[in-house]
Amino acid sequence: MKDKLIMVAGIGTSKMMQLLFSFYLSYIFGHSALATFVLIVTLAAAVSSIISLGSSPQIIRAGAYTEPKSYIESVIGTAFILSIIMIISLVVFLYVSQPKFFLKNFTLNDYLISTTCVSLSFILYSLFQSFLSYRQQYKALGFYSIFTYLIPFLLCILIGFFIKDAKFLIVSYCWLFIVSNAIAFFLSTKDEINYKRIILNSNRDHFFKKIFASLRVAIFGFITMLSLYLLIKFVNYSFAPQEIAVFSVGFQFFQIGVFLPSVLGSVFVPILVRNKSSSNDQKKMKLIYIFIALFWLLLSIVLVYPVFKLYGFEIKKEFILTFLIIQLCVLFSSIQAFYIQNFVATGNFGLLALVSCVWGSILLMMQIFSPANLVYSSVSLLIAYLVSNILFAIILRKKEMIVL
């Protein structure tokens, strides 16, 4: 139990580091620097998800295969090749879409470099996180997580004493982030994984079949992360800098709120695989996730005023509602994590993709057709989660009835 608590504390602390860095950017350089950084991180999460979410569940479920070590090496090799394809696709996407930025002197090339670094960092993080979870080395996972997030944060704060340039600090953070994740990946896997064999076998042994398997697993997560990026992009294009900053901070708090249920999947999914998703394990999971989300919601209500004063936001009804509605989404996102992890344990990735399409469609359609108001943008996220949870509950209920 102690090692799992260290893992939770480590990952929780690491997630706070990015929030603190965004606060530092906002405090020193203003809301535009914060909004730009959140946009980078959100796009990176979207483009990397097709690889990280395709690889991570496969590695965690490696115990279901007769030769788990060879299987893991195969998954990692496929992830590396898909990363090259991802970078090429990202270059094309950014130069075609021509995004705009509120941050002065921040160029498209800066955006490309920063997003590429953070994307590769997220991929490396997901690989060593899932590998250590499979190995049940939870203490190591906690410490490596702190290392990967703390080092770039501290170094950038140190650099900030000498160089007062938001663009330079953001790009530097992204470079340092990939370096710290590369070090953590190497140190956590070097004694167990044969890199030479990965490179030699990455383009052999049913290469296209492995890519298809990874894409099939990842598609549900990619749809979700892409929809969230488009939501953040819509907000960035539609509102003033302070409104964007309020939504961005609310979204960062939301990500911290949902991290614990998502990371606990590293513990619960292997248990569900071994126990064939027993009803007792499912009930325990759901209650834990609901309790975590309710605690976060209560904490958010208490913190809303201090957070607004800290960031220099106006105390307006619209801003407070936006922030709290986004935190309410943590409750339904946590329940959804319970359903997702059950379906991951049984390998039902097709159903996950279907529900994700419904979730993303509702989210984006409401953005397009609702009035241009910050509260409506947060409500669209809430309604998307409500509908997807209802769908998951119906599907899971039907599966249980079929088993009975």
- pLDDT tens digit sequence for 345-394: 776 777 888 888 999 999 999 988 888 889 999 999 999 999 999 998 88
| Alpha carbon separation from 111 to 36, 98, 150, 152, 174 (Å, rounded) | 9, 10, 22, 18, 10
Give the pLDDT score at 276. Answer: 56
Q: Which of 219, 170, 164 is nearest to 49 (CA)?
A: 219
Q: Can you give the residue range of the structural domain that contains 165?
A: 2-403
| pLDDT tens-digit readout, 281-317 | 667 777 888 888 888 889 889 989 998 988 888 888 9
Q: Which residue has the tokens 């292997």?
A: 270
Percent of residues, the chain, with pLDDT higher than 70: 85
The tally of domains found in the chain comes to 1
- Cα end-to-end distance, the chain, whole Å: 34
Give the pLDDT score at 403. Answer: 45
User: What's the CA gap between 325 and 131, in Å, rounded?
Assistant: 35
Establish how many alpha carbons lie within 13 A of residue 282's alpha carbon, considering only the half-sphere containing its beta carbon: 19
The structure tokens listed for 263 are: 């990371």
Lowest-confidence region among 132-141, 169-178, 257-266: 257-266
Q: Which of 142, 92, 133 is nearest to 112 (CA)?
A: 92
The structure tokens listed for 41 are: 């991180």
Give the pLDDT score at 176. Answer: 96
SS3 state at 190? coil
